[in-house]
A and B are shown apart, each in its own frame.
Chain A
C-alpha cells in the first residue's frame, strides 16, 4: 500500500501551517504535517513556516535539516526501512542489508533509478526480541530471513 501524496500546493500548505501554528513549539508538528500531506517538505514551505511562527528562515531550515525524518525530495513509491542497530546486527542484519542493497542495486539511503523503492536504514524499531526487523511503507516485519527479505524486496519493486 502506497500512501497517496498531494502535489505541492501553496494554498494547501498555508492551510496546514495555519492549522497547527497556534500550538506551542509548533515547528516539528508543522513539518510532520507538511510531509504527511506532500510526502516531503518542499523548499517553498520553509519561509512560509518561518513567517507563521515568527521565526527566521534559517531557524526553520536548521530544524528541518537536523532531523533524519524530514525529506528534501519525495521518496520512491515504496519505502523499505531496514533496522541497522545492534540487536538486529546480532541477529544477522548485516548480511540481510547487503542482500537488499545487491537486489535493489542501491545502497542504504538511496532510491532506485526507476523511483520505485527507497531503501533506508533505521536505528531501532523496538522489535529487538524478534530481530532482524524491517518496515515496508509503515508495515512492520520481524524475524526477517533471506526468504522474507526477498519477498519484501519483490513486493516493493512491484
Chain B
C-alpha cells in the first residue's frame, strides 16, 4: 500500500521550502523503494509549521512540521517503522491552534487538492450552488441578507443589499467582479483561498451571477500573486470542463463564465472604482460615487463587485442556511472573519473565528507574541490604512463597530505585530510615503497632502519646531480624512493619527532623553 502524503503548494509554504521538501520526499521514497503519493494542497494557515507534511492514516491525517529537506530521510524512516519523530505534531485536526478556529470559509483550505474539481465536490463543494439553483434569485437574496454578511474587503457594506441593487437594475449586460487586489500588508487570506480552494471563489461568484442575472465575471488578481493567478486559471479551466462554467451550468438553465485579469502593481486598484477603470484598460483613477458600481459599474453596466472572501462566504451560507452563518459573531458583525496574524509574530497565519475575539487574545494568546521574544508594543490592524493600537487597547473586540469606535478599522482582517524596537515616527512617515507613492492623483488632499505629510513628519523627526509641526500634521490629516475621494487619502490619517495619539512619546522626546542625546 502506498503512503499518501500532503504537502502545501501555497506560496507562503513554497517560500519556506515546500517544493524542495516535496521533491526530497519523492527522491528519498524512490531510493527506498517505497511507493508514495504526494497531494499538493493549500495551506492550513499555520505558517510557523510550514513546510507542513501530513500523512493519511486510518485514524485521519497526522502532521509533521516544520520539515526541512534534511528531515526527509528520518521522517520516511519513522513513517515506515511507525516510530516517533521529533517533528510529529499529532493529528492535524487536534492541533489546538486549528481546533480553536471556526472554519466556515476555510473549511477545505489545506485539506483538498485545489486542482481537483472532484475533490472539491467530494468535500461539499457546489452544495451551495445547487441549493441556490433550487431557491431562485429572491430566496437567495433573502438568505444572503439574513446571514448578515458584510463586505470582507474592508468597508463592511451589507452584501445582500449590494446584490439586491444589481438584481433590480435593468440592463442588457451585468457583471460580477471579484476584487482580488489584496494589497494590504499583513493580509493574505484572499491569496490563500485562491491557491487553496479556488473552486469556492468560482462557486461564490456563480451564485452571485444567478442571483442578479449576470452571465459574465472577472477576477482581478494583483500581479504580485502569480501562484494565485495560476491556481484560479487552472480551476476555471477545470470548472469549464466539468460543466460548472459556460452554458447551462451544473445542469441548470443559467450561463456564467469567468476570466482572470492581472493587475500591474497599483495599490489603489484595490479601491473598487479604480479597479473597474483598470479592468476597462485605463489608468486606475478613482471614480466619484455616485453613480454606484451597482448601477453604473464595469463598462457602464450594473456590477456586483465584492472581495474574494465575500464571494467565498456565499456557498456556506447557501448550503447551510443564513442562520448557521449568522449564529456566529457579535452585534452587527455576523459570521466569521478570517483573521491574518502577521509581521513580528511567533504563531503567524490564518485564524478564522467568529467576530468578537479581543485583540489581546488574538495577538498574545493565539499569536503567541513576537518571534523576537521582545514585548509587543504596537499592532497595525487593517493594512496600511489601518490604525496602530497600543497594548492599552488590547481589550477591543474584533468587530467592525468596536474598532471604528476607537478610531480604527478591521479592514481586511490583517494584524501586523511590532515589538518594542519600533519607531512610530518612521511608521507614521511610511504611511504618508506609501500614500504618496500609490495615490492615483485625482484628488488634491491625497495627491499633495501625502507628500506634504512626509515632509512635515520628517521635520518632526529632525526636531524642527516639533509642537507646531505636530499640529500641522493633525490638521493635514483632517483635510485628507474629510476631503479625499476614496479610502486611500481618506484613511491614511488612521495610522498617522493613531501613532501620534497612542505613541506620543516617540514624537515628543522627554527632556531627559534630549539631554542624553546631546
User: Can you list 10 pairs linking A and B with CB atoms under 8 Å apart?
Assistant: A25-B280, A29-B261, A66-B266, A68-B265, A70-B264, A85-B185, A90-B418, A129-B341, A131-B344, A141-B15
Which residues 20-54 in A have Cβ within 8 Å of B in the complex?
Answer: 24-29, 31-32, 53
> How distant is the Cα of A28 from the Cα of B218 in the complex, in angstroms?
14
B443 close to A (CB within 8 Å) = no
Residue among A85, A90, A142 with max Cβ neighbours from chain B (10 Å): A90
| Cβ contact within 8 Å between A129 and B340 | yes
Task: List the interface of chain B (C-beta within 8 A of A).
Answer: 11-12, 14-16, 47-48, 50, 182-188, 191, 223-226, 261-267, 278-284, 299, 340-345, 348-350, 371, 380, 384, 414, 416-419, 422, 427, 430, 434, 437-438, 440
Contact of A126 among B225, B278, B384, B418 (CB under 8 A): B225
Q: Fill in one digit per residue for A114-128: 1 if any B CB lies within 8 Å of its CB, else 0.
A: 000000001111111
Q: Give the shortest distance, in Å, between A76 (CB) and chain B (any CB).
A: 18
Interface centre among B182, B279, B344, B419 (most CB of A within 10 A): B344
What is the bound-complex CA distance between A53 and B282, given in angstroms? 12
Indicate if the CB atoms of A91 and B262 lie closer than 8 Å: no
Nearest-neighbor residue (CB-CB) of B299 within chain A? A24
Whether the Cβ atoms of A125 and B224 lie closer than 8 Å is yes
Contacts of B282 in A (CB 8 A): 25, 27, 59, 62-63
B418 — nearest CB in chain A belongs to which residue? A90
A138 within 8 A of B: yes
Q: In the bound complex, do residue B348 and residue A128 qualify as a contact, i.e. CB atoms below 8 Å apart? A: yes
Query: Besides A90-B417, A123-B267, 11 other CB < 8 A contacts?
Result: A24-B299, A28-B263, A67-B265, A67-B284, A86-B416, A86-B430, A90-B343, A91-B344, A127-B11, A129-B12, A129-B340
Task: List residues of chain B with CB within 8 A of the CB of A53.
Answer: 281
Chain B residue with the shortest CB-CB distance to A122: B224
Q: Which of A25, A26, A140 makes the CB contact (< 8 A) with B14? A: A140
Q: A63-B282, A86-B384, A86-B430 are in contact. Are A123 and B343 (CB under 8 A)?
A: no
Q: Are B380 and A86 interface neighbours, CB within 8 A?
A: yes
Contacting residues, chain B, for A25 (C-beta < 8 A): 279-282, 299
A143 within 8 A of B: yes
* Residues in A whose Cβ lies below 8 Å from that of B223: 32, 69
- A130: CB under 8 A from chain B? yes
| Contact between A90 and B422, CB atoms less than 8 A apart | yes
With A and B bound together, what is the CA distance between A63 and B279 in angstroms? Answer: 12
Measured CB to CB, the nearest residue on chain A to B45 is A129
Q: Which residues of B contact A90 (CB under 8 A)?
A: 342-344, 416-419, 422
Inter-chain CA distance A89–B184, complex, in Å, is 14
* A62→B50 CA distance, assembly (Å): 42
CB distance from B43 to the nearest CB of A (A): 9
Instruction: A3 to B376: give the CA distance in the assembly, Å.
Output: 42
Is B266 in contact with A28, judged by CB distance below 8 angstroms? no
With A and B bound together, what is the CA distance between A53 and B350 in angstroms? 43
**Contact partner, A123, options B183, B262, B416, Cβ 8 Å:** B183
Given known contacts A27-B281, A86-B185, A125-B224, A130 and B267 CB-to-CB distance under 8 angstroms: no
A152 near B: Cβ within 8 Å? no
Q: Is B430 within 8 A of A129, CB to CB? A: no
Q: Are B344 and A124 in contact (CB under 8 A)?
A: no
Q: How far is the CB of A94 from chain B (nearest CB, A)?
A: 8
Contact present for B348 and A66 (CB under 8 Å): no
Complex-state Cα separation, A133 to B191, whole angstroms: 15
Q: A86-B380, A123-B267 are in contact. Are A129 and B342 (CB under 8 A)?
A: yes
Contacts known (A68-B265, A69-B264); A130 close to B47, Cβ less than 8 A: yes
Contact of B224 among A28, A124, A131, A143 (CB under 8 A): A124
Smallest CB-CB A-B distances: 5 pairs:
A129-B348, A85-B185, A27-B281, A142-B15, A128-B342
